[in-house]
Structure 1
């Protein structure tokens, strides 16, 4: 019996192949697959193996570039420097690529996932959002090390790299927590809202008293973020869900409304509806004679949505999981469904529940290419075809991409 190989720590010269989902590229060495981070397709790099479970693949970081691709640039953040090795911050995947190359990589991943999982040959273009690749992120989460320093974790690691700033976050969001000491083990969230107010919340994961639950405390700001989209004000918990890119809410609202195209007097569903961002647009389309059902599992988000949409009596609110709410067969059948599920996607139970109601259009908002492809495949089983797709670089410097798909009943 042959022992499984363990290449951990080895340095391999490899020719880098295509980009893959997850922020790495695929290379091969001695018959094994090597997933290489901080590399670009077509490059020749020296890669240091960081993880090897002994199977058909291992993980590695590029530590030296022998032949660079045209899209390679110097990272704007010092914590993305190749010389740092395993002490690089794990928050960004593509700081070594120019903005256009990043969007091409994300388009390739989304197209590959649609082809491999959903069987669709679909040309994908990832669009740039206003504001450029830096200073776009309005919300961030940091961890605190044993010395009380705030920082970020390396890729696939529990270690913490202290930071003074983060160039993809808006000005002031990270320095506000980096210049002081915190309780070791705490988790910090920072949010800068549309009014410019900074909200900092600390969650002490290791309370002083035994069996005491984690304690959350507001360090600065009111804890309620004030945002404005399409002339409407939205109040949302600073720790709740809101699109982190400054320009995303406005752009996504326009695309969702255009794809939904709900007629006056009809019924629309807004699943995983959060604080009412998309429901507001749907309510305007269906008008006073129509109806919108907003479903959201977070009770706090539903409370915020009630306040945000108080002037729209045609919106009905349900607090609960989408699966449990859609189990109610007495719900009025929708003409249009908008869903913005978590990263894992909607899944079979939700897709089948929607399919049974037979809406003419489904608008799917997704932040994970594989999850979107799985849901598109499930909708195909229910008789729905992908009709339109728009993708956006809502997370520059990272491998993440946002896509909005329109599915029509065949």
Structure 2
């Protein structure tokens, strides 16, 4: 944090050109990790500030024709009492721009105390609910499995990295093609950092994905080779990785995963079940997220009397079966669970994970197509859609299937609030809502909602 030097606008280009520096007052938080500021009537989305601060920003995305501009804080002139020292120099906007470049993305709230982060996330959720669904509701964002030091670090069991043009591990700056080399990932679990991937020569690799399950089972490193990368080059990288780590190559466009050493999947544990998750297959990244979300969902459905032996339920966007298995436990062999997942590889994982559950039917396909083909009714539905949400057509199909309740798990407050609006217009209401801070030091949050017919 620095003290004021001068408060006039500094121009490193034309008026409003990227690189221009302005002094602004930081306003309220907006969805996406930005804070709203204004300069001469124009809205600027500022990252790395705190409401109430006076800061100097560097414009990163601007122009006279732009509806709004974007900028990073480079100097704090009047600091909030909630500002703390950032735990990661390469993600600290003040330190990064002092070194001449942008910070890495992925820890954009690391300069704010954790209690204030959660209050800001609650503001975002409340604002989205009011604006997109007309619902006035304040929901506390609950801390989940915090680290002993209380810093919200070491929770990621999965991490994604880019590679610099010099073959070093890196991460992208926000909304940028710039790849910043990294020597640590403080949000990642020890099992990821202990691999020391930044010491490895990665020339010929475009992307690196790492999964280190919280149960201590064998980690998996996925390498996405650039076009023309030879088997010899891959073998050279393989030889630099610890022997007890599984390694595979993958093609993000085709979804193909090829074994190089060990397994092409990791073994995860949650809610008393074991799950195999292949390659890039979806799994909650916070080490305590799977159990937290399962408990929230089953708690809502149990307490409402919607989840009991003999019930018919469906798990939509089911992934590898995180929710399907505990739902099957609850309904027993006299009940039924329909599990629907669009990704072929993840659906295959679900079949392996649930093969001993005769009451489970697994269908691979788009949710809207599967629902269209089925006329059966359900006691309860669960959906955990991707960030874009379910959308109007799927919401209408869900209501038409006549369930008594729907549990909705969401990682995006805007798409959730939009979908909630569709439910309300269809005669449904929000019965209960919980918010979880599954992504400390980032702007992301997770919600679990219970929806029921208004009548």
**Bin for the TM-score computed over the shorter chain:** over 0.9
Structure-1 residue corresponding to 2:169: 150
Instruction: Indicate which of 252, 256, 260 corresponds to 2:297.
Output: 256
Go from structure 1 to structure 2 and tell me whether the alpha carbon gap of 1:185 and 1:158 turns closer, same or farther (over 3 Å shift).
farther
Instruction: Give the match's secondary structure for 1:45.
Output: strand
Q: 1:120-269 maps to which residues of 2 (within 5 A)?
A: 120-132=135-147, 133-174=152-193, 175-193=195-213, 194-208=215-229, 217-218=258-259, 221-261=262-302, 262-269=307-314
Structure-1 residue corresponding to 2:450: 406
Instruction: Give the match's secondary structure for 2:190.
Output: coil
CA-to-aligned-CA distance 1:105-127 (integer Å, 9 cap, x gap): 11110110000000100111100
CA-to-aligned-CA distance 1:4-47 (integer Å, 9 cap, x gap): 96342221111111000011100111111111100001111111
Deviation, structure 1 residue 333: 0.6
Does structure 1 residue 107 correspond to structure 2 residue 107?
A: no
Does structure 1 residue 77 correspond to structure 2 residue 88?
A: yes
Structure-1 residue corresponding to 2:322: 277
For the 8 Å contact 1:46–1:66, the answer to whether it is kept is yes
CA-to-aligned-CA distance 1:350-389 (integer Å, 9 cap, x gap): 1011111121111000001101101111111221101111
Instruction: Give the match's secondary structure for 2:28.
Output: strand
Structure 1 distance, partners of 2:229, 2:56, is 46
Structure 1 distance, partners of 2:125, 2:274, is 33
Instruction: Give the match's secondary structure for 2:192.
Output: coil
Instruction: Give the match's secondary structure for 1:387.
Output: strand
- My pick for the range that moved more, 259-268 or 344-353, is 259-268
Does structure 1 residue 384 correspond to structure 2 residue 428?
A: yes
Q: 1:225-374 maps to which residues of 2 (within 5 A)?
A: 225-261=266-302, 262-330=307-375, 332-374=376-418
Deviation, structure 1 residue 311: 2.0
TM (norm. structure 2) is 0.85
Instruction: Give the match's secondary structure for 2:323.
Output: helix
RMSD: 1.8
Structure-2 residue corresponding to 1:55: 66
Unpaired runs of 5+ residues, structure 2, are 1-13, 231-250
Deviation, structure 1 residue 183: 2.9
Deviation, structure 1 residue 185: 4.9
Structure 2 distance, partners of 1:56, 1:236, is 43
Deviation, structure 1 residue 208: 4.5
- My pick for the range that moved more, 220-229 or 97-106, is 220-229
Instruction: Give the match's secondary structure for 1:246.
Output: coil
Structure 1 distance, partners of 2:391, 2:168, is 39
CA-to-aligned-CA distance 1:322-358 (integer Å, 9 cap, x gap): 011111143x211100000000000011101111112
- My pick for the range that moved more, 49-58 or 383-392, is 49-58
Does structure 1 residue 22 correspond to structure 2 residue 32?
A: yes
Unpaired runs of 5+ residues, structure 1, are none
Deviation, structure 1 residue 80: 2.1
Instruction: Give the match's secondary structure for 1:6.
Output: coil
Size of the aligned set, in residue pairs, is 404
